[in-house]
C-alpha cells in the first residue's frame, strides 16, 4: 500500500469491541487479567497502551522500521537513546544540531562521562575526522534547523557503519513523507511529533523508530525501565495528525517554495535559504534524497538584526512564535528565541536570520503578509 493509505490504515483497524473506526483513547492505567499473568497483551500502561500502540504501528509502517517507541516529547526520545550510552562512549553531533539535542549532550550526558564532538556532517570528511574508536552514535539532522543544510544519509551511514557505530537521523523537519532514512541506512529515526507529524500545534510528543528488532528490544526495555512514554490523549492527537501528513506536506512544500521564490526576487532581502531553490548549495542532494523540500524557509533581510526583528513584529498571519510544523504559519528570529541556548557555541546562528514555518493557508495571503512586513520599519 502507498504512504497516504498506510497513514490512515496502518495500526488503525476498527476497534474490535465496538467497531469504532477511530482508534479510541484508552484512558486506563491497568488491564483486567484472566488469570495471574494471562492477559490480552496489555498489563500496565507504562509498558504499553492500545492508543499509543496504534500510533507506534502507524509510525513503524511510515518509516519502514522494525518498531517504534512513542515518547512524551522529542527530547524524551533523545534522552531515551541517551540511556543506551555509558561513560566513555562518544557521540558525533552535527555542528548545527537542534539546540535541545546539543544541550542534552553538552550539559547533561557530558556530566555522566559521555563525550561528544560537534562536526560538519554535510560531507563525510567532517564525519571521518570526528569519529573515534569509542564512537557509538553518529547523530544527524537533515534538513537542519534553522540553516536548512542537507546531509547525505546513505554516505553518512556507510562511514558510520564502517566505524562500528549506529546512525541516528532526526527526521522531524522532513517527515517520512518526504524522506525515509531507514531505507538509506539509518539505524534509528527520531521525531519530535510536536511538529509536522502532529501538525496542529496542539500536542508535544516524540518517537524513535528502530530499523532492527534487537535494537528495538533494547529500547523497549529502557522505555519500560525509565518511563518517558506518551499518554493516550497525546498519542491520539498525533495519530489524528498523521492521517493527513501527506496532503499537509504537499501544501507546506508548495507554499514554502512560492514564499522562497518571492523572497529571493525581492531586493529588500539579502539571502534566502530553502533546499528547493537552485541557489541552495545542497539543492542537488536534496532533490535526490527528498520527495519534496518541506515547509521551512530561512532568510536574512537587508538592514541587520533590527530589521529582522521588525519584520517578525509586523506580520499578521505569521505568528511570532517558537516551534514549527503546524497548519498555521510562524515566524521567529532563532538567535533571540529557539537558538538562545547555543549563542557563543559552534552552533551559533546569524543574529539577523529569520526563520519561517510556512503553513497551509492560501499562499497569496502569506506572500502579501511578508510583503507588507518587509516594508514596515
Ligand atoms: C522540536 C525538535 C526537537 C525536540 O522535540 P520536543 O518535542 O520539543 O521535545 C528535536 N529535534 C528537532 C529537529 C526539533 O525541531
The answer, yes or no, to whether the previous bond of 319 is cis (omega within 30 of 0) is no
- What confidence score (pLDDT) does residue 377 get? 67
Residues near 323 by beta carbon (within 8 Å), at least 6 away in sequence: 194, 195, 201, 330, 357
Question: Is the CB of residue 209 less than 8 Å from the CB of residue 178?
Answer: no
Q: Round to whole Å and give the CA distance between 149 and 275.
A: 8
271 pLDDT band, cuts 50/70/90, is: very high
Q: Is 8 helix (H, G, I), strand (E, B) or coil?
A: helix
Assigned C-alpha cell, 93: 553531533
275-286: pLDDT as tens digits: 999 999 999 999
- For the cut 90, the answer to whether the pLDDT of residue 99 exceeds it is no
Nearest CA to ligand 1 atom 8: 74
Give the distance (Å) from ligand 1 centre to CA of residue 74: 5
Q: Of residues 195, 248, 251, 291, which has the active-site annotation?
A: 195
Q: Which of 147, 192, 229, 341 to mutate to test the pocket of ligand 1 (most atoms within 8 A of CB)?
A: 192
Atom from ligand 1 closest to the CA of residue 141: 13
Q: Is 111 a known active-site residue?
A: no
195 is catalytic: yes
| DSSP 3-state of 299 | strand
pLDDT of residue 355: 97
Q: Which domains does the chain have, with CATH numbers?
A: 3-243 (3.40.640.10), 246-375 (3.90.1150.10)
pLDDT of 171 > 90? The answer is yes
In whole numbers, what is the pLDDT of the chain averaged over residues?
96
CA distance 288 to 333: 30
Could you give the CA distance from residue 295 to residue 150 in angstroms, rounded to a whole number? 14
Is 170 annotated in the active site?
Answer: yes
Atom of ligand 1 nearest to the CA of 204: 7
pLDDT at 339: 73
Percent of the chain surpassing pLDDT 90: 93
**What confidence score (pLDDT) does residue 308 get?**
96
Residues 308-367: pLDDT tens digits?
Answer: 999 999 999 999 999 999 999 999 999 888 777 767 776 778 999 999 999 999 999 999
Amino acid at each position: 500500500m502507498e504512504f497516504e493509505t498506510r497513514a490512515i490504515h496502518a495500526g488503525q483497524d476498527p476497534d474490535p469491541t465496538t467497531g469504532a473506526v477511530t482508534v479510541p483513547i484508552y484512558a486506563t492505567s491497568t488491564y483486567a487479567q484472566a488469570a495471574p499473568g494471562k492477559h490480552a497483551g496489555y498489563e500496565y500502561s507504562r509498558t504499553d497502551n492500545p492508543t499509543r500502540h496504534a500510533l507506534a504501528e502507524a509510525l513503524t509502517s511510515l518509516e519502514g522500521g522494525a518498531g517504534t517507541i512513542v515518547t512524551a516529547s522529542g527530547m524524551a526520545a533523545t534522552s531515551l537513546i541517551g540511556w543506551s550510552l555509558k561513560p566513555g562512549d562518544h557521540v558525533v553531533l552535527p555542528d548545527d544540531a537542534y539546540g535541545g539535542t546539543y544541550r542534552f549532550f553538552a550539559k547533561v550526558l557530558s556530566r555522566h562521562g559521555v563525550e561528544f564532538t560537534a562536526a560538519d556532517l554535510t560531507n563525510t570528511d567532517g564525519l571521518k575526522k570526528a569519529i573515534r574508536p569509542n564512537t557509538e552514535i553518529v547523530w544527524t539532522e537533515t534538513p537542519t534547523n534553522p540553516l536548512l543544510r542537507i546531509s547525505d544519509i546513505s554516505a553518512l551511514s556507510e562511514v558510520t557503519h564502517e566505524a562500528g557505530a549506529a546512525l541516528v537521523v532526526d527526521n522531524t523537519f522532513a517527515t517520512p513523507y518526504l524522506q525515509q532514512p531507514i531505507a538509506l541506512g539509518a539505524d534509528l529515526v527520531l521525531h519530535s511529533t510536536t511538529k509536522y507529524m502532529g501538525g496542529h500545534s496542539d500536542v508535544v510528543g516524540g518517537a524513535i523508530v528502530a530499523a532492527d528488532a534487537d535494537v528495538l528490544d533494547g529500547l523497549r526495555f529502557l522505555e519500560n525501565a525509565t518511563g518517558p512514554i506518551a499518554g493516550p490523549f497525546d498519542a491520539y492527537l498525533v495519530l489524528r495528525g498523521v492521517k493527513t501528513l501527506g496532503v499537509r506536506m504537499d501544501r507546506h512544500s508548495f507554499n514554502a517554495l512560492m514564499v522562497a521564490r518571492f523572497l529571493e526576487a525581492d531586493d529588500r532581502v539579502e539571502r534566502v535559504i530553502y533546499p528547493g531553490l537552485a541557489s541552495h548549495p545542497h539543492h542537488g542532494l536534496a532533490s535526490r534524497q527528498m520527495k519534496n523540500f518541506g515547509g521551512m524557509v530561512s532568510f536574512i533581510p537587508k538592514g541587520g538584526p533590527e530589521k529582522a526583528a521588525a519584520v517578525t513584529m509586523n506580520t499578521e498571519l505569521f505568528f511570532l512564535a517558537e516551534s514549527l510544523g503546524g497548519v498555521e504559519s510562524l515566524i521567529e528570529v532563532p538567535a533571540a528565541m529557539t537558538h538562545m541556548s547555543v549563542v557563543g557555541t559552534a552552533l551559533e546562528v546569524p543574529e539577523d536570520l529569520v526563520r519561517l514555518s510556512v503553513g497551509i493557508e492560501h499562499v497569496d495571503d502569506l506572500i502579501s503578509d511578508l510583503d507588507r512586513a518587509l516594508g514596515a520599519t
